[in-house]
Structure 1
């Protein structure tokens, strides 16, 4: 007689993102916690479950599976031995009768919960995937527009949506950890939007919430992002000691030892902060470490979407530009500016505008007045007027230009450009 496939188990695995091997590993871990001995399951064991060749796993294995999934075995499509169907009455002498009766009741409740309008529902990896797709949209919006208040509010609202799912139904621990990671990711983006627009009180509030959620998730990548953003925030606030301390927390996370690309970003952001201290040798050492780590990074590894500019070295060049500009090494800053602009993807309009403004300021610092103005005029008017950091940088550029060549035709060209190109439509 041919075995009947366990399509219920297959559906649960697909919903929760498990392969045969990953479920085997998870159940083996649960078995070790239950019995003190490692489990012996492998991918072929799980495939036998899915094929229906094993209809009722051994008792310890069932308990471990139930711990992993949060569901009774019968709700996962398994059929107790000696039963033709789940509705067959248990034998009165069966020592497992009470347990089977209870399990049958739970299965009935689970089936009822799947009916329209029933509550609570089952939260799975498809819910996490949907949130992660929204996070990708948030990152794309940030790259185009930067730290708008609307972006900050949207990211915070999505964090609330992720947390709401924690209480909206039952879920495995893996799904719950992923939901906490999603919420922390959204709040880290809200934090970044606030930093980008110089709303530092908002940024600190988002940071505290994001750090707590990241701890609940256990996600090293999002912990790194939050602490790295904290370092950037303190750098922008002119607090280099706090910035260096926050960067050190990020750089000491295990993920920087597992993946050199994270180590590269950590060293590069440390270099940008060291630029505030005037320590040229320390900046050079940090940038050297960042480049070495970037060279060692495996380009084929899957990484978070916010690491896009780190992969090809654009972020390293951007932070090297910031470090040398702060040191007053304008020639070196200009070199890194050109490199960063060549590497940044077209959709990264915010970063491109910031680096163009810094390039203009570096050219002005070298006395190349006409070229500096021509460069500054390349910043799109919408970014120049709607992004707080870019607006401030160009205002500082204009002030330095007027101080360098007061009343000159070149300074007048810049004044007319800002008056005409930046005029807000009526």
Structure 2
């Protein structure tokens, strides 16, 4: 009571004990003393109630509800990427959410299942940050995110997120013009047992490997890999597999055709590229706005290289102004399209029309 109230024992109503005389019999304390003791006890109890309390002895329990909240935020990141793509804001938000998932590991007690899922969430967010950096052509940042994402994925032990990270790494090295490293990274993804259990993962790994073959100029390997990817996609249909949201949100026949369009452009097979471009646009889901912009520019390039500047310019002008102005990858592709148009038809009316169009477009295509 002294420690709690800050009062000395006498102030609390206690009387120093005296050795009783043998001649004096023990007596009950007078009523006034008992009243004072009761009052002092009440004062001490009030002091305990009003004093600042130390941290609760029972730590916060991190549960699957916290994991579910993070999963919803990851779904939001995926949706934002498909609408806008490549934005530094998406990359930064995903990085912050990865840190939030890791902070939960330290905030309280949790089951092993919860801790594993928190690492999966952190790795998922870092893989999205990595992809946003790749799509935005911030390759130095993407390599840093690759390192962090791979470490978190190992802690999670989750094969699906490992596949995503190394498949993204393959795409990064392909865009950097390093097909050997791209193939090695994609082989890490394709070598996981997950691709033997689920043909949809196998199909994606094969399709991306086909694009890597094309960047190295390997036509036969490209055609063979795309054939295998198409066959695996056919086997994946109707299996009822439980698959991660990031895979279901984008990989389908349209994405396979998008990768084929990119690959055949790299090989200079313009007619085949155009055919895949039309198929992709016909099958794209409405939320795939970033993919639609990229596919449209690639289709315009395939038409231009076949000596059809009128059709090419008509296609290129269909790219959404927001994507043309704010998506670094789309903006760069449109700039290259304009240069190629000027090279192939420097004095043509369609080249003039394109220049006028880009000059009048807010935050023009040539950014």
What's the counterpart of residue 207 of structure 2? 268
What's the counterpart of residue 117 of structure 2? 178
Give 1:119 deviation, angstroms. 5.2
Q: 1:410 to 1:279 in 2, by over 3 A?
A: same
Tell me which of 62, 65, 68 is aligned to 1:126. Answer: 65
Give 1:308 deviation, angstroms. 2.7
- 2: CA distance between counterparts of 1:306 and 1:368? 37
TM value normalised by structure 1: 0.71
| Partner SS, residue 286 of structure 2 | coil
Pairing 1:19-418 to 2, within 5 Å after superposition:
120-299=59-238, 300-308=240-248, 311-418=251-358
What's the counterpart of residue 53 of structure 1? none
Q: Tell whether the 8 Å contact from 1:321 to 1:334 is kept in structure 2 after alignment.
A: yes
| Partner SS, residue 206 of structure 1 | helix
Q: Tell whether the 8 Å contact from 2:204 to 2:251 is kept in structure 1 after alignment.
A: no
Give 1:422 deviation, angstroms. 3.5
**1:187-222 deviation per Cα after TM superposition (whole angstroms, max 9, x unaligned):** 000000000011011000111000000001011000
Q: How many residues align?
A: 309
Which stretches in structure 1 are left out of the alignment for 5+ residues?
1-115
- 2: CA distance between counterparts of 1:262 and 1:190? 21
**1:137-174 deviation per Cα after TM superposition (whole angstroms, max 9, x unaligned):** 00000000001001000000000000000001111111
Give 1:303 deviation, angstroms. 1.2
Give 1:298 deviation, angstroms. 4.1
Give 1:312 deviation, angstroms. 3.1
What's the counterpart of residue 16 of structure 1? none
Q: Tell whether the 8 Å contact from 1:384 to 1:422 is kept in structure 2 after alignment.
A: no
Give 1:342 deviation, angstroms. 1.3
Q: Tell whether the 8 Å contact from 1:149 to 1:194 is kept in structure 2 after alignment.
A: yes
Runs of 4+ in structure 1 deviating by more than 6 angstroms, as ranges, are none
Q: Tell whether the 8 Å contact from 1:181 to 1:217 is kept in structure 2 after alignment.
A: yes
Give 1:408 deviation, angstroms. 1.5
- 1: CA distance between counterparts of 2:132 and 2:146? 11
Give 1:278 deviation, angstroms. 1.1
Q: Tell whether the 8 Å contact from 1:310 to 1:316 is kept in structure 2 after alignment.
A: no
**Larger-gyration structure (1/2):** 2
Higher RCO structure, 1 or 2 (CA under 8 Å, sep 6+): 2
**1:90-120 deviation per Cα after TM superposition (whole angstroms, max 9, x unaligned):** xxxxxxxxxxxxxxxxxxxxxxxxxx96652
Q: Tell whether the 8 Å contact from 1:148 to 1:197 is kept in structure 2 after alignment.
A: yes
Q: 1:175 to 1:235 in 2, by over 3 A?
A: same
What's the counterpart of residue 52 of structure 1? none
Q: Tell whether the 8 Å contact from 1:142 to 1:151 is kept in structure 2 after alignment.
A: yes
Give 1:302 deviation, angstroms. 2.2
- 1: CA distance between counterparts of 2:57 and 2:290? 46
Which stretches in structure 2 are left out of the alignment for 5+ residues?
1-54
Give 1:311 deviation, angstroms. 4.8
Give 1:309 deviation, angstroms. 5.2
| Partner SS, residue 346 of structure 1 | coil
- 2: CA distance between counterparts of 1:399 and 1:246? 33
